Structure 1
């Protein structure tokens, strides 16, 4: 976030973000869309470059749920494939993990090399929590070395807590089996969205980021959940050309 932005401007941005998230929760917004927006808000509000969100499948295996950039998505995926990185350590310990200078750390040699290749010099990770359960981690990636200040860390944790609450909506008294079911439902929705993005990217010869915006725009215009529209496309009930012809994406 720009150092020129005033405290008042930042507080207004934070307020707008939480109001939008609260509204999305109240109306039952699609979880994939909501979490994607949340990672974008994190990247905009905090002194970082981008954000990625990893989610447990209920069996201790993390999957990429959302990211604010393609580079971050690939780096989060790298962590899960290599079983190495700050977000995995954060999930397993339930604690904040901080690596303010990746050139100076030796805990994750393969991850550090990959992160630097993607243009990142620092990373922090905060846990996603549901009461006593840690269900994932929010990774915060910076282009330059440096610690996050206490205010940013508190805000990052608050946003991670909102993401966790979004997964269960208004349910109370969740038991471990029902938490696992919710996590698996969210991940299934994410898989449908990723498949739909791939179809649109291929058919329209566009980037996956542009494909996601086409999908999101169609869902919004037709008052449908993102994952529902993705399912229609994946299962052949909605032709890709219908979404692409109605889009202004080049």
Structure 2
């Protein structure tokens, strides 16, 4: 936990990469909390809530539904600036469409914590579980700490350059997410792999070669970098690989 908070606080560098930082947030959530997947949603100034990081393709598809439908626990946590616990019951009286989609994807509950610093709420940290019921109290407190650390780290970046605003940082994260998704699609098509494995290869290659994730994604799309067709580290980030897949009939 200490290492995670220190990592999230170490952002006052000239080459700060918002996209990579937000993916690290989700990875720390996976390591420290009793969850199956995690996602981060952020909103630029006066802009809509957007998904900027997710631990799997499965949760990404569920998360993308919320901003478009303007409903769901994550959307509510952001707009009410308060944590939300929700158990996916089908049929559900609250957020029925979101609950049905999440339940079909194998999720049984979700905890959403606002990413905020004092009065400034800039997004939501979304924690999906494959078991029903609220997130344990200890994990809720830790999720709050991770969300607060994320807000502080993003907001303190403005001290590096008076002309670089939070809105620019969040917009950069949104733009680079698009590039990363395009690179995932390219690898999925050309290497005949699933999107989670494609993303795992991108992250592993970027880390081992010490290059920015967004830069690598652009190079892959442009054809200037060719990732190896296979690797021994192709296991996507998940904590539920041993569990039975969701029942499609539900």
Change in CA separation of 1:189 and 1:169 when aligned onto 2, cut-off 3 Å? farther
Q: C-alpha deviations, 1:86-117, integer Å up to 9, x for none? A: 11111111111122454585220101111111
Find out whether 1:112 has 2:109 as its counterpart: no
Q: 1:217 to 1:158 in 2, by over 3 A?
A: same
Determine whether 1:60 maps to 2:47.
yes
CA gap 1:29/1:74 in 2 versus in 1, 3 angstroms: same
CA contact (8 A) 2:88 2:100 kept: no
User: What displacement does 1:193 show?
Assistant: 1.1
Structure 1 residue 124 and structure 2 residue 108: aligned? Answer: no
SS at structure 2 position matched to 1:206: coil
Q: CA deviation at 1:138?
A: 0.9
Give the structure with the larger helix fraction: 1
1:238 aligns with 2:224: yes
Q: Does 1:180 align with 2:164?
A: no
1: distance between equivalents of 2:191 and 2:153? 32
Q: Deviations over 1:105-140 (max 9, x none)?
A: 522010111111111221111001144221111111
Structure 1 contact 204–244 (Cα < 8 Å) conserved = no
Following superposition, the deviation at residue 60 of structure 1 comes to 3.2
- Higher RCO structure (Cα 8 Å, ≥6 apart): 2
Using a 3 Å threshold, how does the CA distance of structure 1 residues 100 and 62 change in structure 2: closer, same or farther?
Answer: same
* Gap change, CA 1:172 and 1:193, over 3 Å in 2: same
Q: Is residue 98–residue 124 contact of structure 1 (8 Å, CA) maintained in 2?
A: yes
Tell me the equivalent position of 2:203: 216
| 1:226 equivalent in structure 2 | 213
Aligned to 1:205: 192
C-alpha contact (below 8 Å) 1:128/1:135 kept by paired residues: yes
**1:136-155 equivalence runs, <5 A:** 136-155=123-142
TM-score by length of structure 2 reads 0.81
Note if contact 2:44-2:166 (Cα within 8 Å) is conserved in structure 1: no
Structure 1 180/125 Cα, relative in aligned 2: closer, same or farther at 3 Å? same
Whether the aligned pair in 2 keeps the contact of 1:91 and 1:135 (CA below 8 Å) is yes
Aligned to 1:162: 149
